[in-house]
Structures are given as structure tokens and as C-alpha cells.
Amino acid sequence: MTVTEHLGVATHTGSRRSRALRFVAVPAVLSVVVVVLSALLSTGPGSLVSTLSVALINLTMVVGLYIFVGNSGIHSFGHLSFASVGGFTAAILVMPLDLKTRMFPDAPALTWFALDPFPAVLVGGLVAAVFGFLVVLPLSRINGLSAGLATVSILIAVNVIASNWDSVTRGRRGISSIPSSTTVTTAVLWAIAAIWAAWLFQRSPFGKRLRASKSDEVAAQAAGVSIARERIIAFTLSAFFTGIGGGLFALLLGSVTPGTFYLDYTFVIIAMLVIGGTDSLTGAVTGAVVVSVLSEVLRKAEAGDVLGLFEITPRPGLQYVVLGIIMVLILLLRPAGLTRGRELTEWFTRRRRKIPPTGGSPIAAGPTDPPGPVPPANPGTTDTSLVKESR
């Protein structure tokens, strides 16, 4: 093999490695950030660890919501219905058999078996995914505001059913005495799994076709993209991770009611995605982290404590008021969110772009290049003036 061939093979191998590194850079960096922050904060007091667990669960649900909203461009306001399905399913499955017998006397089928926390949460996510698949079948062809209103109706319907299904959900009383088993490690692992799943779907042919329909639906259909099919796939995967988040949250609190995953929680999750940026996975993670920190500060401020520096009069509802104002300002001043719809790799690429020198073109003809004649505009014709001069 000649030197030129060796150089060609090395260049090809290097470019392939470079592409592979760029492919995994975004989820890898985001995962490292999540792990490092979790490791630092998990050494704090119990209240901080509990807040960290909630933040990681919120991150899982926000990324789950991003899988559909970020790739399809259709806003869903009812995704917390899947968290409710996953939460109730995981709570029922993880409870001891003797406790189930006393709590669900009218549903003997629920008292036959019990699962460990991990499979219970996984089954909760799968049940939510099946429910999401059945729901999206008639909704996959709806666009715009109609789709958003349809998802709100699903959220309301699930809340009404859970509030009146006494034999399974115990109605408005909900389910209590759930073994609390969600730890920081469990929440971190599921958050990382959601990040990687969202990125792999986004970069897959399914995600690319769905993003094409987001940019221009008519052109995507003309190119042969089945928009309904791509939406069904994204919605089902999105419902799975939202259900996982609901199961983790139920097993963290030790109780779950129909009101746990309703309008208040829906507003917080949507605010996280909008503030961070709906068009990028980096924006979803950034929004979840920023709003989680801000929510904790505002929650303490509602009780009258401002960062431990001074006390104010307790202001109930301050958290939602401030988050609402911030979301409005983001929509007005930075509609694409804090990250402006860019991934981490795009930030570094923009900074490393070479700027051509001022005062001339970056590419100039060499001193030995002959000027040569100017070719005619149409290669198939002959310049008659040159013919006349030769005569």
C-alpha cells in the first residue's frame, strides 16, 4: 500500500470517528452534567435530596414530552394523563399483597401478585405507552390548536375516571401507604435513559421524517412521508417515558391521587420545556434544571423564606405567578427558549467557524494562473464577433 493510500485510509477512519463523536456528544455531555450535579447535591441534607429526586423525575417527564412536541411541532397539554396512568399502575403493582387485600376489596384481581419497584415502574410506563398508542390513533391526523385541545380533553377524562373509579384508584382518596423506593440513583438512571432515547429517536429516520413534516407538512407528504405513522411512534414513546416519570413520582411520595398529575403539574412541565426551548434536547434538559431550581426557591419564598437571607410575608401561589411571568417574557423576547433551539454541538460549531479576512475574497487566483478567455454564456453557441475578427 502506497503512502497516499495509507493517508486516505487514515483520513477516512478519522472522519468516521469524528462523525461518531459528534453523534454521541450531545447525550453524553448532558448525561455527564446530570450525573455530576446529582453526585454533588446528593450529599446534602434530606430535604435537598428529596428536591433533587423530584427534579430528576421532572427531567424524565420533560424529555418524554419533548420526544413528541419537539419533533412534531404539535403542543400537547395532556401528557400528564400518562403520568397518572403510570403512577397508579406502579403504585398498585408494588404494594404488598396483604395491604392490597385490605385496600382493594372490590378488585380481587389486583391482589394476586406484587412486583419489585423497578419492574413495577417499567410496567407502568408500558401501560401508559399502550394507552398513548390507543389515544393517538384518532388524533394523529389533527394539527394545530385542535390537537392541543384534544390532549387537554384526555387529561380531563383521565382525571374524572381516576376520581370515580373507587374499586381501583379509591376515588379522590387516592392510594396511600405505597412503599417509597425511588432513590436518586434510580431517578438518575431513568433520566439518562430518557435523554439517550430522545436523542436516538431524534436522529433516527423516524425522527428525521417527523421533523421534516414539522418544517413543511405538504412537502413531507409529497416526498412520501407518512406523517400519521411518525406521529404515532413519537407519541407512544413519549407516553412511555411520561408514564415512567409518573411511576417514579408515586413511589417517591408514597401516595398518589387523581389531583397529583393535573393542571398545576401540567403547567410546571410545559413551562420547563418552553423556557428551555422546545426545538432541542439541550433546551428540554436546560429548562428542567433551571425551572426546578427556581421552583424550589419560589416554594420556600411562598413560606416566607428567601434563600435563608431574610423573611417575607408568606405568599401562597407565588411560584406559579413568577413562572407564568417568566414564560410570557421568554415567549416575547426569546421565542425559541434559552437555548434558541440549538444543541450543544451547534454552539461549539458556530464559535469555531472561520471568518474570511476583510478586504478580499478568501480564495484568490494564484500568480501563475493564466487569465484565459471568458467562456460564452451558452456552451453550444459561438461568439460571432470573434469569428468576424478572424475573417
102-141 residue pLDDT tens? 888 888 888 888 899 999 999 999 999 999 999 999 988 8
Measured CA to CA in angstroms, residue 113 lies from 99, 125, 178 at distances of 12, 18, 15
What was the pLDDT predicted at 353?
54
Q: Tell me, what's the pLDDT at 356? A: 52
Q: How much is the CA Rg of the chain, to the nearest whole Å? A: 28
Give residue 195's identity as a one-letter amino acid code: I
> And the C-alpha cell for 35?
450525573
Residue 365: what pLDDT? 41
Phi, psi of 368 (to 5 degrees): -95, -5
Q: By C-alpha distance, which of 195, 64, 86 is closest to 130?
A: 86
Q: For residue 291, give the C-alpha cell.
A: 425551572
The angle at the Cα of 248, spanning 43 to 140, to the nearest 5 degrees, equals 135
pLDDT averaged over every residue in the chain: 84
Name the DSSP letter for residue 305: E
pLDDT (mean) for 61-68: 97
At residue 11, the pLDDT reads 52
Residue 11 cell numbers, joined = 483520513
Residue whose C-alpha is closest to residue 345's, from 20, 23, 18: 23
More confident residue, 373 or 93: 93
- Closest by Cα among 110, 3, 123, 132 to 64: 132
On the question of pLDDT at 391 being above 50, the answer is no
The yes-or-no verdict on residue 269 having pLDDT over 80 is: yes
- Average pLDDT in the 236-261 region? 96
Q: With a cut of 60, say whether residue 318 has pLDDT above it.
A: yes
**pLDDT, position 387:** 39
Q: What's the pLDDT score for residue 366?
A: 43
Whether the model clears a pTM of 0.85, i.e. scores above it, the answer is no
pLDDT value at 361 more than 80: no
* Portion of the chain with pLDDT greater than 70, in percent: 84
Using CA atoms, how far residue 310 sits from 296, 306, 327, in Å, is 16, 6, 27
CA distance 187 to 194: 11
Looking at per-residue pLDDT, the higher value among 175 and 362 belongs to: 175
Higher per-residue pLDDT: 201 or 16: 201
Q: Average pLDDT, stretch 315-325?
A: 85
What is the phi-psi region of residue 359: left when phi exceeds 0, alpha when psi lies from -120 to 50, beta otherwise?
left
Q: Which residue reads 381516576 in cell numbers? A: 162
Rounded to whole angstroms, what are the CA distances from 161 to 43, 121, 164, 165, 259?
A: 41, 21, 5, 6, 12
pLDDT at position 385, please? 42
